[in-house]
Structure 1
């Protein structure tokens, strides 16, 4: 016995629309909740220091409460949609209101460890504990953070990379150092950042020790606005799949 299935064209079109809508919705939620594992290559995990499209503004915060909020306010005022803050867990514990302000402004949050440790100088177990302790802080604060990690003082060796990878983190360095942590003068900070090109990750600080960053930032943002620079988050650099990595030598 033969059976024939007759489909109404209009009904088939409706089914197709429903299926397509469900697929797009599922993909949207997937992207929104995507966490990035360590940036791996055939030779193992490496630290990401540069992308391809856009420029990433990143701010480290490890201590103080007077510089961070003016910087957040300025970014919001200048309608900057994309910025990434790397926060130390111990600082976040002491300043949950500022962490919440960063999150509510829509800016991305990554980890800067818990203590301000030199990852080159401590044993593997201590590095792992430091990362997990920082992660625990953000869980308790109910603040979502991306699985991106920056060595607290920028110093690390090959040992950090597999540790981070096992914990699901990508190690993120930078390609442009504003040197704002040296307080070299506003003009110098602006000039250092002005050298940034597409794909660069810029290191800035919102800790109280960086006294000139908030003053230099308006000029930096104005220059980016004039040049129609596309500012992106670290996650956008990673998801683009074009991030560059560096071999770290001991």
Structure 2
């Protein structure tokens, strides 16, 4: 019996406009609760941005946000996995030396920080994924815990940047270029797969009782923690290869319809 459903958001659960079918979600989530199933949003987005996205419809869901470096439920922080301060600052310096024109988003325990010189259009991009954003003249001024470092690059150099950072900091951090424009750095061994494992332990749920959904390079680990792992049809090839099943695309409500089908099967079995 499925007890835990974990889904990525952008490109997986959300459509290409960054939205989801609220009526269908409410119906599916209501039935999930009746069947004792837990819904988890696992995403690079800031937890608070996810909470705003779901609004009143998000009661009872778990949020593994900031690239799974933070765990929240119903507005309360359950766990955070921080990066050593000096290691975080060294990562930032390495990125800035590689390409100072890239947009840096430094996520801390209290907010996401961007440089005060950030252009308006880039700030709008940041706000699409981060609810609490502060501008700062130097990232060294941040006095709260470092959670994640994200890079957004319109020139799509994330793969080259990852290789550059790994030459200096490889083995000390977790780094993934989830898309050509996006790169994330978290503490070593902190990624979607490991954080879901911690949640499984917390909730007493097994691999055999878990279902997962994803589309991007940073969802490959998400496919390994669930017996019922699904890549949406628009997913990258590596995620499709890692998944046991392929379902409909994010534009076709693939996640919600698959959950619905699974619950129908479970009702028939029971």
Instruction: Report the TM-score range of the alignment, normalised by the length of the smaller protein.
Output: 0.3 to 0.5
By relative contact order (CA 8 Å, sep 6+), the higher-ranking structure is: 1
Which protein is richer in strand relative to its size? 2
Pick the structure with greater CA Rg: 1
